[in-house]
C-alpha cells in the first residue's frame, strides 16, 4: 500500500516520513532533491531550468512507482507525482517559466506514463500557511532555497488547496501544519502519529473489505 506524504516546500514531508518510518515501521521513499542536477540552477534561473528540473522529478517519481513492491508493507512516498504535475510544473507554466511547447511535451510524457502508475491508497497533506512555510525554509537553511520568494510559496499554496479538494482518486487526511509542529513538539508529534495511525487503520480496513467482497 502506498501512502503519499504531501505538502508545500518546508511543510515537513521528509521529517514526517522519517518519523513514520521510525515509530510505525513504514518504509519511506524520499524525494530525489539531492539527485536533481538542475535544482540549484533552477532556483537561480527558473526560466532557463524549470522544464529540465521538473522533467527530472517526473521521471524519478515514475521510476519509483514502477519498481516499488508494496506487498505486506506501507510505503511512504515523500511527495507524489500528481503534485509534480498539478502544482509545481503547472505553476511554472502559469508564471511563464515553462513555455507552451515544453508544457505540452511535459503533459504528454505524464499521460504516457500515467497508464502504468500505481495510485496511492491514501494521501496525508500537511497544510501550512505561507508564513509558517517561510520560517521553516529559512530555519533549515538549504542554500539553494535562500532566494525563494514568499509570493512563489503563496502561489504553490493556492494550487495545493485547489488540488487537494479535487483529488478524488483516494482517501485524504489533512494535517494542520500550523497547529501541529511535529518537528519541535513532543506532544504534537504524538498527536500526529495518532491521527495517521488511525487513518492507516481505516485504509487497511477498506483494502481488506474490497478484497473480501470480490
Does residue 145 have a known ligand-binding role? Answer: yes
Q: For residues 164-184, b (16+ Cβ closer than 10 Å) or e, as one string?
A: beebeebebbebebeebbbee
Does residue 36 have a known ligand-binding role? Answer: no
Does residue 41 have a known ligand-binding role? Answer: no
Does residue 10 have a known ligand-binding role? Answer: yes
Alpha carbons 81 and 86: distance in angstroms, whole number: 9
Cell numbers that stand for 11 in this block: 511543510
Taking Cα atoms as reference points, which of 26, 34, 41 lies closest to residue 77?
Answer: 26
Does residue 7 have a known ligand-binding role? Answer: yes
Does residue 104 have a known ligand-binding role? Answer: no
Does residue 54 have a known ligand-binding role? Answer: yes
Residue 5 phi/psi, 5-degree rounding, is: -100, 110
Does residue 8 have a known ligand-binding role? Answer: yes
Of 45, 78, 108, 115, catalytic = 78
Q: Cα dist. 172→4, 10, 17, 80, 165 in Å? A: 9, 20, 16, 13, 10
* Whether residue 41 lies in the annotated active site: no
Binding-site annotation: residue ranges: 7-15, 31, 43, 54, 79, 84, 136-140, 145
Q: Which residues are annotated as a binding site for substrate?
A: 31, 43, 54, 79, 84, 145
- Binding site for ATP: residue ranges? 7-15, 136-140
- Catalytic residue positions, numbered: 78
Amino acid at each position: 500500500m502506498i501512502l503519499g506524504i504531501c505538502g508545500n516546500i518546508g511543510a515537513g514531508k521528509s521529517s514526517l516520513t522519517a518519523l513514520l518510518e521510525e515509530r510505525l515501521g513504514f518504509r519511506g521513499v524520499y524525494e530525489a532533491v539531492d539527485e536533481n542536477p538542475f535544482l540549484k540552477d533552477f532556483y537561480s534561473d527558473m526560466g532557463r531550468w524549470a522544464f529540465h528540473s521538473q522533467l527530472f522529478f517526473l521521471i524519478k517519481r515514475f521510476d519509483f512507482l514502477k519498481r516499488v513492491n508494496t506487498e505486506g508493507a506501507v510505503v511512504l512516498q515523500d511527495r507524489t507525482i500528481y503534485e509534480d504535475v498539478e502544482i509545481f510544473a503547472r505553476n511554472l507554466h502559469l508564471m511563464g517559466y515553462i513555455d507552451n511547447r515544453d508544457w505540452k511535451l511535459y503533459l504528454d510524457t505524464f499521460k504516457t506514463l500515467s497508464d502504468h502508475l500505481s495510485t496511492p491508497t491514501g494521501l496525508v497533506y500537511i497544510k501550512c500557511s505561507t508564513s509558517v512555510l517561510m520560517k521553516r525554509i529559512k530555519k533549515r537553511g538549504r542554500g539553494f532555497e535562500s532566494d525563494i520568494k514568499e509570493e512563489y510559496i503563496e502561489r504553490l499554496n493556492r494550487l495545493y488547496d485547489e488540488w487537494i479538494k479535487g483529488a478524488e482518486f483516494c482517501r485524504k487526511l489533512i494535517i494542520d501544519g500550523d497547529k501541529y509542529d511535529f518537528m519541535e513538539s513532543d506532544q504534537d508529534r504524538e498527536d500526529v502519529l495518532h491521527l495517521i495511525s488511525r487513518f492507516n487503520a481505516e485504509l487497511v480496513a477498506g483494502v481488506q473489505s474490497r478484497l473480501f467482497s470480490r
